[in-house]
Amino acid sequence: MSSLEFNRGQPILKVEDAKSVLVLKRGKGKGFSGVENDLFVDPKTSMLFGDARQSLLDLGLQVKEA
Q: What residues contact 25, with CB distance under 8 A and at least 6 apart?
A: 40, 47, 48, 49, 52
Number of domains in the chain: 1
Q: What is the per-residue pLDDT for 1?
A: 44
Domain span at 47: 4-65
**pTM over 0.75, yes/no:** no
Reduced to 3 states (helix: H, G, I; strand: E, B; else coil), residue 20 is: coil
CA gap 51, 37 in Å, rounded? 19
CA gap 52, 59 in Å, rounded? 10
Q: What residues contact 31, with CB distance under 8 A and at least 6 apart?
A: 37
Q: What is the pLDDT of residues 6-30, one digit of tens each?
A: 666 667 788 888 999 999 999 888 7
CA gap 6, 40 in Å, rounded? 22
